[in-house]
Structure 1
Amino acid sequence: SLLAAVSHDLRTPLAGIKASVSSLQADDVEWSEEDRAELLANIEDGTDRLDHLVGNLLDVSRLETGTVTAVIRETDLDEVVPMALLGVPEGSVVLDIPETLPMVAVDRGLLERAVANIVENAVKYSPYGEPVLISASALAGRVELRVVDRGPGVPDEAKERIFEAFQRHGDAPRGEGVGLGLAVGRGFVEAMGGTVTTEDTPGGGLTMVLGLRTADGPHLSLPDPSTEGAA
C-alpha cells in the first residue's frame, strides 16, 4: 500500500531530474545561458520535492512508531512561523502575528515542520491571487494559530479523514504530494500537547486552528538546561 501510494510521486520528480540532466549532457546541443538556468532550476525543484516527500515519510514513520520526542521550550511564535514559510511561493501568504503574544511551550523544530506542512497544503488549494492568511491570538492559557485559505473547503464528513496519511481530498492532481502533510502537522502538534482542528472559512475555504499551550500555562515542565544532552 505504501509503495502504491508513493510510486508516482517518486517517479515524477525523478523523471524530470533525469530528463534535465540528460539534456545538459547532450553533446549535440548548444544550450543558451537561459536554457541552462531553466534546466538547473528544474533539477533543483525536483530534488526539493523528493527531499520533502522523503522527510514526510520518515516523519510519519516516527509518529506511527511513537518515537517522536518533543523538547519543550519557551518560544516566541513570531520567531518560528516565519522560518516555516521559507519554502512557500512569494506573495502566497499574509502573516499577522502580534509581537505582544505570550510565549508558547513548544518544540521549535516540530512546530516549524508542522506549520510548514499545514501552510503548504493551504497554499496548494488556494485560488490564484488569494493568499493564505496566518494569524494568531491569545486565549486563556493558550495561543491559537490560524491558517486560513479561500479554497474549495472540506465537507464536514471529510474533515477528520484529511488528517489520515495518504489521503487526498477532492480533485487534487497527482504529483501534488501523497497526503502526508496534514498527518505530520497534526501528529507533531499533538506530540507537543497541542491540538489541530478545522473550521469553515467564512465566505468559503478551510481554516486550520493550531492550539498551543502558553509557557505559563498548566502542565508545563521545561527542561533543566543543566541536564540537557545528558544520557
Structure 2
Amino acid sequence: MIRAALRGLRGRLLLSLVLTSAVTLVVAAAITIGPLQSRLRDQSESALQETTEATQGDFETALTKTKKVDPKLAKLPVEQGGGYVNAEKERRQRRATELSRLAFELRERTNGARVLVTDLSFTDAAGTDSPAFFVDTDFQNTPDESALRLALQATNENISETQIIDDELTFAMPVFINGKIAGVVVSQRNLTEVSTTVRLVRNALFTAAVISLAVAIGLGLALSSTLTRRLKLLQRAALRITAEGPEAPAPTDRGRDEVGDLARALGRMQEELRRQETARRSFVATASHELRTPLTMLQGTMELLDEDLREGGDLQDAQEQVESARGELRRLSVLATELLDLSRLDAAVQLRSEPVELGEIARAVAAEFSLRAGDRGVELEVDSPGPCWARADPAACARVVRILIDNALRYAPRGAPIEINATHVGHRVAVRVSDRGPGVPEDEREHVFERFHRGKATSVESGFGLGLAIGRELAERMNGTLELSDAHEGGACFVLTLPASPSSPSPSPAPDSAAAA
C-alpha cells in the first residue's frame, strides 16, 4: 500500500519534501555538531591561557615584594620574634598569603579553574630547588602528578606549556624575577562542560529536527493535497472532453502557477478543437453538398445523353449536356486537388528551394486562365518591370498564384480587369493579384485564410474555403507570407511575398508602398 501511494504524484511530492528537509537537517547537524566540540575546547584553552598570562605581572610583583627579609626584623632577638629564621618565616607567610590571594582571584576569573603555584625561591632540606606546589586552591594534600610534571617541564624549558589529557586541560606559566624563574603558576580546568554543552546542543537539534520533519510532513500533505486535487479536476475535465467532445464544459483554474497555466492551455486547446470541429462539420456538409450536386447533375446528364443517343436526338442538345458534364467534372477535379494539397501540407512534404522568376510564373499561370477569363469578359493584365528572382519551390509558387487568380476570377465583375504585378519589395520579391470585386469585409479579413471558411459574399462559382488557407500555408513553408492588402479601386488585393534569390539583380525599393503590405 505504501509503495502504491508513493507511485502517485502526492506521495512523490511528500517524499521529496521530507527527504529535502531531512538532508538539510543532516547537513546542518554535520556542519554544526562536528566542529563544535573542537571549537569549544580551543576557546576554553585560549581563554584559560589568556586569563592566566594576564596575571603574570601580579605574581612576579608578589614574589619581588616578599623576597628580602626586613633588616629591622632580623636584628631583633629571637625571643622577640626577630632573627633570620623568624624573619624568613614571616616573609614566607606573607608570600603565601599574597600568592594565595592572587591564586583565588585567578580562580574566580577562570570560572572555577584549579590554580597551583610553585615557589622556587625556597629550597628543601637537601638544598635543591623544589617544584612542589606552594599554593593549591583546591586544598588537596595529594599533588597532581600531571600538573607537577608540566610545571617541571615549564621550569626546565623556561616557556609556558599546555597539555590536555582526556577532559583535563592544564596550563603551566613560569614567573620570572630578574630573568630567572621564581615560580610556576599552573591552571587546571575540567572540559566536561564542553561535552555537556555539545550533548545539549545535539539533543536540542534532534528535537528541532523531529519537529521540523513533522511540520514538513504536515505542509507536504497540505500542499500535495491541494495540487493533486487541482490536477484531478483537470483530469476529469479532460475525460469529459474525451467522452462528450469539445462541447463539454471547459476546465477552470484561477491559479497563477503552472497548474493554472495548464488549465488555461486545456481551455485554449478545447476552444481550438471546438473551432476545428465546427469547421470540419461545415466542410463535411459543404463537401457533401458540393459533391452531391455535380454527381447528381452528372448522373442526370448521362441519363439524358444516353437517352438522346439511343433515340437519335438533337446533336446540339447532346453537346450542351456534355459541356455541362465537363463543368461538373472540373468542380470535382478542383475539390480533389485542394484536398490533395491539404493532405500534403499536413504531411509536411518537403518543398524545393531554388531560384524562381516570379514574373515568368505569373505569365504562365495567367495563360492557363485566359480561356476562362475570356468567357467572363475579364482581362488578365500581367506586369513585371524586370526579372524578379525568388528563392522558393516553383510548383508551390505556381500553385499559390493559381489560387489567387482563380479567387479573383470568382469575384471580379464582368468586363473589369485583374491586375497581376511581380515586383521587388526591399530585399524580397512579391506578386500582387488585384481585382475590382466586392472586396473583403473588415470582420473577415483574417478569417479568409482559415480552412473551410467561406465568405458571406460568395459567388456563383464559390469554392470550398480551402484555396487561400492552402496558399498561406505554402507561402509560410517557403519562408514567405500571403496577406490581404488594400486595393486602389476597391476589390481585394492579395500579396505573395518571398525571399529574394541571391542570383537575382540587386533589388531597388518598390515605388508602390502598397506592395509591401
Q: In structure 1, what is the equivalent of residue 333 of structure 2?
A: 51
2: CA distance between counterparts of 1:83 and 1:11?
A: 33
Q: In structure 2, what is the equivalent of residue 4 of structure 1?
A: 285
Q: What is the CA distance between 1:51 and its match in structure 2?
A: 0.8
Change (3 A) 1:93 1:212: farther
1: CA distance between counterparts of 2:353 and 2:440?
A: 32
2:478 corresponds to which letter in structure 1? M
Bigger CA radius of gyration: 2
The answer to whether residue 459 in structure 2 is matched with residue 177 in structure 1 is: no
Residues 158-197 of structure 1 correspond to what in structure 2 (within 5 A)?
Answer: 158-173=444-459, 176-197=462-483
Say which structure, 1 or 2, has more relative contact order (CA 8 Å, 6+ apart).
Answer: 1
The number of aligned residues is 216
Q: In structure 2, what is the equivalent of residue 112 of structure 1?
A: 398
The answer to whether residue 414 in structure 2 is matched with residue 132 in structure 1 is: no
Change (3 A) 1:82 1:17: farther
2: CA distance between counterparts of 1:174 and 1:34?
A: 25
Q: What is the CA distance between 1:161 and its match in structure 2?
A: 0.2
Q: What is the CA distance between 1:199 and its match in structure 2?
A: 1.4
Helix, strand or coil for the counterpart of 2:438? coil
The answer (yes or no) to whether the contact 2:378–2:416 under 8 Å persists in 1 is yes
Q: What is the CA distance between 1:36 and its match in structure 2?
A: 2.1
The answer (yes or no) to whether the contact 2:485–2:494 under 8 Å persists in 1 is yes
- Structure 2 residue runs of 5 or longer lacking an equivalent are 1-280, 504-517
2:495 to 206, 209, 221: 209
Bigger shift: residues 92-101 or 103-112: 92-101
Q: In structure 2, what is the equivalent of residue 225 of structure 1?
A: none
Q: In structure 2, what is the equivalent of residue 79 of structure 1?
A: 360
2: CA distance between counterparts of 1:140 and 1:3?
A: 43
2:317 corresponds to which letter in structure 1? D
Identical residues among aligned pairs (%): 32
Relative to total residues, which structure has the larger helix share, 1 or 2?
2
RMSD: 2.0
Task: Give TM-score scaled by structure 2 length.
Answer: 0.40
Q: In structure 1, what is the equivalent of residue 314 of structure 2?
A: 32
Helix, strand or coil for the counterpart of 1:7? helix
2: CA distance between counterparts of 1:19 and 1:99?
A: 50
Q: What is the CA distance between 1:210 and its match in structure 2?
A: 0.7
Q: What is the CA distance between 1:173 and its match in structure 2?
A: 4.9
Helix, strand or coil for the counterpart of 2:373? coil
CA deviations over 1:15-68 (Å, ceiling 9, x no partner): 2211211111116643333222211111211111101111101212322x2423
2: CA distance between counterparts of 1:180 and 1:93?
A: 25
Change (3 A) 1:121 1:166: same
Q: In structure 1, what is the equivalent of residue 343 of structure 2?
A: 61
The answer (yes or no) to whether the contact 1:9–1:177 under 8 Å persists in 2 is no
1:157 to 433, 439, 443: 443
The answer (yes or no) to whether the contact 1:77–1:103 under 8 Å persists in 2 is yes
The answer (yes or no) to whether the contact 2:362–2:382 under 8 Å persists in 1 is no
1: CA distance between counterparts of 2:454 and 2:285?
A: 14
The answer (yes or no) to whether the contact 1:142–1:212 under 8 Å persists in 2 is yes
Helix, strand or coil for the counterpart of 1:172? coil
The answer (yes or no) to whether the contact 2:410–2:461 under 8 Å persists in 1 is no
1: CA distance between counterparts of 2:482 and 2:379?
A: 19
CA deviations over 1:142-188 (Å, ceiling 9, x no partner): 11111101111112331110011111112315762111111111111
